[in-house]
Each structure stands twice: as C-alpha cells, then as structure tokens.
Amino acid sequence: MRVGIGLPNTIPGVDGPVLVDWARRADAGPFSTLAVLDRLAYDSIEPFAALAAAAGVTKRAGLATMIAIGPLRNTALLVKQAVSVDALSGRRLTLGLAVGARLDDYETAGVEHRGRGARLSEQLATLRDGDDLGVRPNLRLLVGGMTGPAFARMARYADGYAHNGGPPRAFARAADSARAAWSDLGRPGRPVLWGQGYFALGDEEAGATYLRDYYAFTGPFAEKIAAGNLTSARAIRDFVRGYAEAGCDELILFPTVADLEQLDRLAEVVS
Amino acid sequence: MRVRIVGAGPAGLYLAVLLKKADPSHDVEVVERNLPDATFGWGVVFSEGTLGELRDADPETHVEITDTFARWPTVDIRYRGRLLRSRGHAFSAIGRRRLLQIMQRRALGLGVGLRFETEVSDVNGLAAEADLLVGADGVNSLVRRTYAAEFGEQVAPQGCKYVWFGTDLVLDAFTFIFKRTDAGIVQVHAYPFDERTSTWIVECPETTWRGLGFDAMNEGESLAACEALFADELRGHHLLSNRSLWTSFPLVRNDTWHRPGIVLLGDAAHTAHFSIGSGTKLAMEDAIALSQALVRHPRDIERALLDYELERQPVIERFQQAAGESAAYFTRVERYAHMDPMPFAFNLLTRSGRVTHANLAQRDPQFVRVLDAWFPGGGLLEPGAVAPPPLFAPWKAGAVELRNRVVRASAEPDRLPALARSGAGLVVAGPVAVTLDARISPDTPTLDDDASAAAWAALVDDVHAARAAAAVSLTHAGRRGSTRPPTHGADVPLRDGGWPLVAPSPIAYAPRMPVPRAMDAGDMARVGQAFAAAARRAAGAGFDMLEVDMGHGYLLASFLSPASNRREDEYGGELVGRLRFPLEVLDAVRQGWPEDRPLAVRLNVMDGTRRGLQLGEGIAIAGDLAEHGCGLIHVVAGQTVPEAAQADYRRGFLTPLADRVRAEARVPTLVGGYITTPDEANTLLGAGRADLCLLDVPDTDLERELVAAAGEEVAAAMAVA
C-alpha cells in the first residue's frame, strides 16, 4: 500500500504560500500522492487550482482529487480543468469524482441536487469516451460514494474506488462492495482501492475544531468524525496497518491543522 | 457525578452497579415506574461470550447469575414429525425476574438509590438536576421519545406476530417447533430458564395469525388455542401467561444515542429481534461499555458518551443485521416447508449468517457429517458414511455429471482450461455472442461459424481433460453492444468500427450510447435462428451445458423488463408479452440442443428499479422457463438500467434471490454475487439456497482454497481419480 498526504486546501485561512510550501515539502518526502478535497460553500481553495499550483512546484508525487464534486461543474469545463492539471503536472493526475454530501454546495452552484448521480455518470461517460476532448485514454479515474448506484457507476466507468474515510473495518466493507460491483459489471481484474483518514500530530484540539466545523452539516456524526482524527504516531501506524490489511492500494492522510510541522511529523511516522 | 437512570431493567441496574462500584462517591439513582418484582416475559438467554464480560465487569453478580443459570448445549428442531438435534452450542438462560433480583440486591448493597413506582413525567427536569441522565427505559423509552428528533428515532415492526408465554414443561434444549396448520406454519421458540419453567414463544406471519383467528381472541382464548395447538409437544403441561399478548416486534434504531448530558442504553437505543436472543446481552454489554467510557473520561462526560457510542454502534449494527435476517427467515418459513429435514434444519441454523458450515462443523461435527452425507444423495444416509462438504458433492443433470459444485466463468476463452485445472466442476465460457453484431465489444468471442466452433471444440477438449464440464453462455448484447473492451470500462461506446444496435424499443442504454433500432419481425426471426445455430454448434463443439443469457439488460433481458421494453405489439406490455420473444428464443435453442444435456438460463429476476421487473415477476418467469425445458436458473439482478436505485453490492448479494427462485419456482439455481470462500458456498448449498455456486476468487488462490476446504482425503481422492 502506498501512503499519500492531503494538501490543506479546505482548512480555512490557508493561503497560497502555505499550500505551495506544503506541496513542495511533501514532494520531497515519503508521500506517493498529494490529494485535495472539494467544498464550494466553505472557506477553501478550489481543488483543481490547488493541484495546478502543486503541479508547478512538484516533480514526483501523484496528484489526486479525493474527491471532486463532479455535478457542481459543467461537464466540458470539468474535463478541461482535469485535462489541464494533468498536462501541467506531466500526466500525474488521478481524478476522483463523486456527488458530494452537502446540499448547500449545490445551492451555491445553482445546480439541481436531484439527478446528481445520473449527471455524474454522464460526466464519467464523457471522460471515458473523451479522446476528442484531450483526455488521455489511461487517465486514472476513481469514483466515490456508498450507495449501490455509486458502486455500479464506479465499476462501469472508473479504474477504482475512493472511500470516504472511517475505521479500517468500514473501509473493508466498502472494498467488498467495490469488488462485488466490479465483478458484476464484468470488469477484468480488481478495482484500485483508495482510502483516506484525518490526522493532527500535536495540535489535537485545533484539528477536532476544524473537523467539527467542516462536518457540522452531518449533525451528531461530526463528533464521531472528530473523534476519529489520528492524533498519535501509534494511531497512525495502526490505521495504516488496518487499511493495508483491508486491501487498500493507496491511503491518503489529510491534515486537520495547516502547519508544515504536521507534514514533517507525518513524514517521520510513515517513512 | 450525579447520575439518574430511568428504568430498572437489566441495563439500567447493571450500569448503576458498575458506576457505583467504580466510584462510590457517585450519586446514582434508578427510577422505575413498576414494582420491584413486576416484569414482563419469562427467561432471557445469554451466549458464553457475554458471560466472560460479565465476570470481568462484576464478579459478584456474575457468580450469582451463573449459579442460577440453566445451561444446555443442544438445539432441537421439530419439523414434519421428525426431531433433529444439533449439539455443541453454548446457551444459558435465567429468569428475568431472578436476574433483576440479583441486580437490585447488588445495587442496594453498593448504595445505589432505587425508586420504584415512580413515574417520570418531566425528563427535562430530571436531566437538569443530574450530570448524566440515562434512558434505560426499554423499547418504549420515554427519554428517547422526549428527544426523538435529536436522536433520529426510527421504530418499525419487524418479523412475525408473536406472543411470549411461559410453560411448566422443563425443556432440555433450545427448541424450535414448526407446526403445520390449515392457515400456515406456526413456530415456537422455547428454552428452559430455571428448574421449573421454560420460555415458550409462539409466532407466525400475520396472515396465518388472522387465519387462525388469533386476532379476535383475548388473552385467555389465545393461550388455550396455543396450548391445544402444541398439546403433543407440551406433553400435558400448561402454558403460562404474564400479560402475554400477541404483538409485533418493534425494531428500534437511532441515528445517535446521546445528546448533551443524556444517553440511551439497551432497548431504548436499539433492539435486535428476539429470534437471535441477544436483547439482554446487548443491553448489559452497553452498560459495561458506558461505565468504562465514564471511567476513562472522568471529567469529560460528552467524550465518554461519544466513546461509548463509537464502541457499541458497529457491534449493534452487526447484530441488527443478523437479527433482521433471522426475523425475515421466520416470516418465510412456509416457502421451505417442502424441504427435507436435514437441509431445512441447516437452513434454520444458518439463517442469520452468524453460523456457517465451517463453524457448525467445529461445534457439532456429527450434525455436519450427516448433512454432508445426506447432501449428494438427497436422503441416502449410510451409517458412518463420510462425504465431502456440499461444494464438493457431484451434481447430475441429464447425461452430465459435475464432479463438484464449483463454477468458474471467464469472458476470455484462453483462460478456461486453467480454470478447469484449478479444480472447478464447471467452467462457463461467456458471454459468447451468437453473431458478430451480437457482441458486447470487439473482444467478445463468438460462436457463429464453423471455424469458431472448431476453436471452441479444442478448448472444450482441454477443459474435459482437466475433468471439468464446459458450459457456454450465449448472448446477444442488444442495446449494450458496440462498446469498448471491458478493460476500458463498461457501456463506453466504440468510437470507430462500431455496429448498429437493436433492442425491443429505441431507448439508449447509457449516456453517449447510441439509440438502438426497435426490432421488427425479421430481426426477431434472425436472432432466434442465430441462437439456434449457435446452440447446434455448441453441441457439436462438445459443450456439456448451454446457458441462454436473459440477464443484465442484454437483448433478451431487455425484452423482459418494462423499463426497456415499451413495445405496443404482442412482444411488449404485460409479462406474457414481454416474455414471448425470450421464450421463442429458448424454444429455438432447445431444438438445436441435445435433450440429455442441461439447458440453463441466466435470468434477471429483478431490475432493482421501481419501473423495472420486480422479483415476483422474475420468479414467475423462472417457472415458465422451466416449463420450456430450462433446468437451471443462473440468478442475476440489476443492470437493466444503469442507475438502478436498489442496487446493493453486499457480499453474497444474489443469494437471497436464488433462494427465493429455488424455493418458490422449484428450479435448481446457480448463484454468484461475490462469493469468495468455500465456507460461504458450503453454507448456501447445504441450506438449499442454490445448487451450484459461482466462486469469485483470484485465480491463484482458488486451488489452495479448494484443497483446504475439501479436506485432505477429498483432495487425495480427487488427485487419484
């Protein structure tokens, strides 16, 4: 299993220099991939813009959206953004897409929430069929989501599955569903499986405050997500081992505190 | 810490005991509206796993509880006049009243305040005067209802109608009784809990309940009626009532079990259907988890409540899942009433998914040996006979005998011999297109001329050389044709070199897919002839079995489904119309296929969307296909439309569907659906949910797993034979 790190693009107050420094230092570290989250109605940096900035200061690490909310975006522009980041980075993009969980992102974008799944499928079909739009045929696509239709969509159009976080056993269950859907759709081999988790090494309270705020829309669930924040080297090692055992191919650890020291500490733990 | 607990049931009292024990300075009071010795119901069951936890949490009560326990290792199943016994289990039970007495005494000894006959009217007020208010007030919890919206309360009836009696008949086993009546089967769950009394729960589906007139009876009348119904089994003993009234089991779930300063425990937070006997166990484990969380976070109650919920919720979800399967099983027992006693009993024991062939073999090797010996012969039991597990039993249909029930499939012809060598009894080549324009993608193999038939014949020889049988799955892609190879995705249209698509109605399958042409009479005749010709070539190539593909939205499946068939001629409309063309094709294939070789259909038994084919119709279709000579239904579902809302990719997701087809249409079934271990396969085959199992394991693991599962003797026998 490979381990990547998140860019702090959805932590409020993060500015360009922090993001760019973070990317540069992560590229020099033991991380396989730099990944971003996506939120429209929240103090954050747009995921493709963040990856474009990261592309300019990195050479090695993969770049990934984990995930981007496809249906918020016009399909042609989404494809253009993805193709552009892929070109700027020298073909290092992995494009993860899902419908997202927040109604207010849709309201802010002026996009109907209803029909979001079918629209995401159209976007994926376009990306898969998109040689004329400049999409390279082997651009790696991931799809996220926990519903039956989401797994079917993943197996139909993508190369793998992007899980939305949680303890290893939750990942293992979703991984089973992803493999089951893959086989049901007649795809050869197995889907690539990506997982994610949150960490804060040292400033536990700031991390929890951010997660409670970021996930406030989930109601009581926000507390549980905050409680799952990995706040010690041991917790991270257990988590990494649990995901590896559950068959995860690439695990992204997202920061909850946008301090470069966090990155260095994580590098020590995972290297 | 000031703690107020509403409800003096096992959960509330046990929590009070554990909190007071952990810190005698806690001010703990339990408020109960009933008298100390008032209780509903009779005995409660525990599993051995719980007992260890009780011992660790409070040795004093553990000793008292276990001293009064009734314990037994046996499950008795009374069915069709037969008694089947399964041993090696570890049940224990205690009278509910006795359990409460032990808890009450212990609580009082530790200085817990107990206020009986005290009705709580003001939950908010009680919460305000405590650091922590605990709702341990059972399934109808007032505390939960007070904050129903915050907790995200969901309550719904689950399973059969049931009534909880006692009896003075002292049983020596957990006893299931299945009693046939004119109105349907009525079943009993009974177990001893002290030296004088047993619990005796009677249940049946609501239609049976009405049919027997229970809906119009009062407490005394229904007791008398149940006593009469089970007179033989009660052997002159009586049923006892304790406000024993017929009811439906309420399934309680909540999005969260806590809010600031308030927490739910046991049945107030969650219920699990009584047929897995876990309610009291879960409630007492909740009490242990909550008390430990409060010890871990003495100054942070909110964090403790969160920890408690994080620890318990996944456990509860697992039990609720198993309990749901169990409750559902008992509602459909009627459908299994044709089964022989052995598979019937094994199906019962494995109903919730917690007992499997492998772990039952550990607990009760004799029972599993008898099941395995029964399995291939269907009733021929030779004393002392040792047979391999169900997956390795042969399967016979017509002139074809499979050496085991392992089925493997591949879309790549070249892989078939390797699959056969890996130990499978049957390898399926497919999908194989009946003509070039019936292909799914350019990669789809065809069986449309003599040259391709010769190539297939060579492959079949290789499969036979590995002592496996070979099947071919013949398809026409319909509106899902002309796509890029599956390595690139599914339903991604070919840009260059594509071919025109046909379908019952001109509706594109997925985004960017072309609109197919609606088939006319000439098209249908040509497709029917192509299937028949392919069947003749398949027979000539030596295939042992032929499967006609009516699944996953390909051409024939798209005729079956109202979501894709909008025709207004005799090939559309009602089911009889939608089934017409697929049946014509099956009949044409039957003509070209030898009588003595099995003919299978890969059938979508439901589409998983509201406007698509429903399971009831799918089962009816399976019956019709059987009448037209189909001897095996390969059960699949979904993919008729790409965005099927009810798609559910759980492990073994097709097994419940195969079970229903087999039980209701009485056709043998082949099932896949991400079954990855021989144990899963042995369990579903032994329980009669399917006849053949399509295993989904990485090729490299298969041989090792099969050999391990079969046991060394069988592996040796296979190698020698």
Q: Which of A170, A149, A162 is nearest to A65 (CA)?
A: A162
Are the beta carbons of B504 and B518 closer than 8 angstroms?
A: yes
- Other Cβ atoms closer than 10 A to B310: 16
Domain count, chain A: 1
Closest CA in chain A for residue B672: A184
CATH superfamily assigned to domain B2-329: FAD/NAD(P)-binding domain (3.50.50.60)
The single-letter DSSP state of residue A91 is S
pLDDT digits (tens, 9 = 90+) for A246-268: 999 999 999 999 999 999 999 99
B/e letters for B440-465, b = 16+ CB within 10 Å, e = fewer, are bbeebbbbbeeebbeebeebbebbee
Q: What's the CA gap between B163 and B189, in Å, rounded? A: 10
Residue B527, both tokens: 């497709």
Q: What's the CA gap between B350 and B326, in Å, rounded? A: 9
- What pLDDT is recorded for position B610? 93
Are the beta carbons of B153 and B144 closer than 8 angstroms?
A: yes
Closest CA in chain A for residue B313: A224
- What pLDDT is recorded for position B91? 86
Domain ranges of chain B: 2-329, 409-720
- What pLDDT is recorded for position B57? 93
- What pLDDT is recorded for position B375? 84
Question: Shortest Cα distance from B673 to chain A (angstroms)?
Answer: 7
Burial of A15 (0-12, 13-18, 19+ CB in 10 A): exposed
pLDDT digits (tens, 9 = 90+) for B602-632: 999 999 999 999 999 999 999 999 999 999 9
Q: What's the CA gap between B197 and B585, in Å, rounded? A: 63
Is-cis flag, bond preceding B5, omega within 30?
A: no
A205 touches chain B (CB under 8 A): no
- What pLDDT is recorded for position B98? 92
Nearest to B492 among A129, A167, A177 (CB): A129
Residue with tokens 């969901």: B154
pLDDT digits (tens, 9 = 90+) for A172-193: 999 999 999 999 999 999 999 9
How far, CA to CA in Å, does B87 sit from each of B267, B366, B369?
Answer: 30, 8, 13
Give counts: helices (H), strands (E), chain B. Answer: 26, 29
Do B510 and A126 make contact, defined as CB atoms within 8 angstroms? no
- What pLDDT is recorded for position B69? 86
Residue B299, both tokens: 């100054």
User: Is B649 annotated as catalytic?
Assistant: no
- What pLDDT is recorded for position B246? 97
pLDDT surpasses 70 at A56: yes
Chain A residues within an 8 Å CB radius of B484: 128
Nearest to B490 among A117, A118, A187 (CB): A187
Q: How many Å from the N-terminal Cα to the C-terminal Cα in chain B?
A: 73
Residue numbers of chain B with a pLDDT score lower than 70: 40, 47-49, 377-385, 698-721
Q: What's the CA gap between B123 and B268, in Å, rounded? A: 14
Task: Give every CB contact of residue A241 below 8 A, 6+ residues apart in sequence.
Answer: none
- What pLDDT is recorded for position A75? 95
Are the beta carbons of B677 and B641 closer than 8 angstroms?
A: no
Considering the candidates B147, B162, B554, B571, report the single residue annotated as catalytic: B554
Task: Give every CB contact of residue B307 below 8 A, 6+ residues apart in sequence.
Answer: A227, B293, B296, B297
Domain range spanning residue A119?
2-270
Burial of B713 (0-12, 13-18, 19+ CB in 10 A): exposed
Question: Shortest Cα distance from A137 to chain B (angstroms)?
Answer: 8
Name residue A95's beta-bridge partners.
A65, A141
Residue A201 sits in a domain whose CATH number is: 3.20.20.30
Are the beta carbons of B204 and B161 closer than 8 angstroms?
A: yes
Q: What's the CA gap between B296 and A38, in Å, rounded? A: 36
Name residue B410's beta-bridge partners.
B429
- What pLDDT is recorded for position B555? 98
Chain A residues within an 8 Å CB radius of B412: 188
Task: Give me chain B's average pLDDT, please.
Answer: 93
Q: What's the CA gap between B571 and B435, in Å, rounded? A: 22
Q: What's the CA gap between B71 and B93, in Å, rounded? A: 7
Question: Domain B409-720 carries which CATH code?
Answer: 3.20.20.70
Nearest-Å Rg of the Cα atoms of chain B is 30
Per-residue HEC secondary structure of B169-223 comes to: CCCCCEEEEEEEECCEEEEEEEEECCCCCEEEEEEECHHHHHHCCHHHCCHHHHH
ipTM exceeding the 0.85 mark: yes
The total number of residues written for chain A in this structure: 271
Task: Give every CB contact of residue B661 below 8 A, 6+ residues apart in sequence.
Answer: B605, B618, B619, B622, B633, B635, B667, B669
Instruction: Determine what percent of chain A falls in helix, strand and coil, rounding each to the nearest 5.
Output: 50, 15, 35
Which of A128, A138, A140 best probes binding to B when mutated, by most B CB atoms within 10 angstroms? A128
Are the beta carbons of B439 and B502 closer than 8 angstroms?
A: no
